Amino acid sequence: MVKRALGVLVFLVAVLVGLLVYSFTPKTLDVEAYKSGASFVPGIKPSAEVSLTLLNTGMMISKELFTYRGGSPGKTYESGMAAALVRHPKGDLLIDAGFGRNVDLHVDRMPALMQWLASYVKEVPAADQMQRAGIDPRSIKQVILTHSHWDHISGLEDFPGVEVLMPPAELEFIRLRRMPGLIDEMIDKLNVRTFNFTEKPYENFSSSYDLFGDGTVVAVPLPGHTDGSLGVFVNLPSGKRFFFTGDLTWSEEGLTLPAERPWLARRLVDYGEEDVRRSIVRVHELLKKYPEMIVVPAHDRRIHESIASLPKYEQ
Ligand SMILES: [Zn+2]
């Protein structure tokens, strides 16, 4: 009897291990099943002189295996932690805030498993990089968050009083305490301004929010990773276009193949698995239509390094 029970147990464990191994094997998303069916509506021509530079504030080291289905188990993956600085005549803007001066405190408040996984390297926080380059950090009038996880928000405290933009869905998500870390305590001290996406289609998105009303910086919903996750287009005067996609995927391959995160990573970090898939396929369609557009997943260091950083600018 005991022998039989042991046999069943060994069999079950073998099945579970097999399933876990399978969850890391290459598998592209079913583009047909998740297609948006949307037609493309180009935005207005950008009408302000904006420039863009990327502030690399730190990184985390992991294996490519964990970043997307099909990633190599042997390949080290450097996860970049960045803030993007958009210089606009109406006031400067950050897209995410990167690692801030207090990032250690944020990590201390994470659940034990997250802390164990979060081996991170600090670089110079965004506010300090700006100061070193002779830019007063007070020139930042707004920060738009692709979402409010710790690795995107700790830099906010280095810009006291700055307006923090997020859709109501993200604020609600924080209030429901679905976000681990310090954000619960921080949120009431932040100068949050919520905004609603308007019904105005933008490319293959049915709603959008033009931050300055001039076509230079346009946010669109990319729900799934968190309820209020979003993407941000930056359209430069030269015609060069960037699309910041937050943590929809951790690497470019997630969007180009396209491929979602492996099951274990999805369990740990995503809330709406189906929403993530739909959002990924929407961005995949966009990249097929505009192959020259530079897509910037929030943690793809290879792409971050290809973008100008202070004192240089993309124009
Ligand atoms: Zn992140």
Phi-psi region of 70 (alpha: psi -120 to 50; beta: other; left: phi over 0): left
Q: What pLDDT, in 10s, does the model give residues 262-288?
A: 999 999 889 999 999 999 999 999 999
Q: How many angstroms does the Cα of residue 268 sit away from the middle of ligand 1?
A: 12
Q: How many angstroms does the Cα of residue 249 sit away from the middle of ligand 1?
A: 9
Q: How many angstroms does the Cα of residue 240 sit away from the middle of ligand 1?
A: 25
CA dist., res. 198 & res. 200, Å (int): 5
Please tell me the pTM assigned to this model: 0.94
Q: How many angstroms does the Cα of residue 225 sit away from the middle of ligand 1?
A: 10
CA distances from 5 to 9, 14, 18, 43 (A): 6, 14, 20, 64
Q: How many angstroms does the Cα of residue 227 sit away from the middle of ligand 1?
A: 14
Q: How many angstroms does the Cα of residue 253 sit away from the middle of ligand 1?
A: 16
The domain made up of 2-306 has a fold known as: Metallo-beta-lactamase; Chain A (3.60.15)
Q: How many angstroms does the Cα of residue 237 sit away from the middle of ligand 1?
A: 29
24, pLDDT greater than 90 = no
Q: Which helix (H) or strand (E) holds 174?
A: helix 168-175
Q: How many angstroms does the Cα of residue 80 sit away from the middle of ligand 1?
A: 9
Q: How many angstroms does the Cα of residue 70 sit away from the middle of ligand 1?
A: 20
Q: What pLDDT, in 10s, does the model give residues 203-224?
A: 999 999 999 999 999 999 999 9
pLDDT of residue 118: 67
Nearest alpha carbon to residue 293 among 214, 234, 220, 208 = 234
pLDDT of residue 281: 98
Q: How many angstroms does the Cα of residue 297 sit away from the middle of ligand 1?
A: 9
Q: How many angstroms does the Cα of residue 298 sit away from the middle of ligand 1?
A: 6
Q: How many angstroms does the Cα of residue 9 sit away from the middle of ligand 1?
A: 38
Strand partners, 140: 92
Cβ atoms of 179 and 55 closer than 8 Å = no
Nearest alpha carbon to residue 81 among 98, 61, 62 = 98
Domain map of the chain by residue range?
2-306
Q: Is the peptide bond before 262 cis (omega within 30 degrees of 0)?
A: no
Q: How many angstroms does the Cα of residue 255 sit away from the middle of ligand 1?
A: 16
Q: How many angstroms does the Cα of residue 215 sit away from the middle of ligand 1?
A: 26
Q: How many angstroms does the Cα of residue 68 sit away from the middle of ligand 1?
A: 14
CA dist., res. 37 & res. 102, Å (int): 44
Q: How many angstroms does the Cα of residue 151 sit away from the middle of ligand 1?
A: 5
Q: How many angstroms does the Cα of residue 243 sit away from the middle of ligand 1?
A: 16
CA dist., res. 224 & res. 280, Å (int): 10
Q: How many angstroms does the Cα of residue 143 sit away from the middle of ligand 1?
A: 16
Average pLDDT over residues 93-120: 88
The helix/strand/coil state of 94 is strand
Q: What is the mean pLDDT of the chain?
A: 93
Q: What pLDDT, in 10s, does the model give residues 117-144?
A: 768 999 999 999 999 999 999 999 999 9
Q: What pLDDT, in 10s, does the model give residues 222-265?
A: 999 999 999 999 999 999 999 999 999 999 999 999 999 999 99
Q: How many angstroms does the Cα of residue 115 sit away from the middle of ligand 1?
A: 14
Q: How many angstroms does the Cα of residue 246 sit away from the middle of ligand 1?
A: 7
Q: How many angstroms does the Cα of residue 311 sit away from the middle of ligand 1?
A: 25
CA dist., res. 243 & res. 231, Å (int): 7
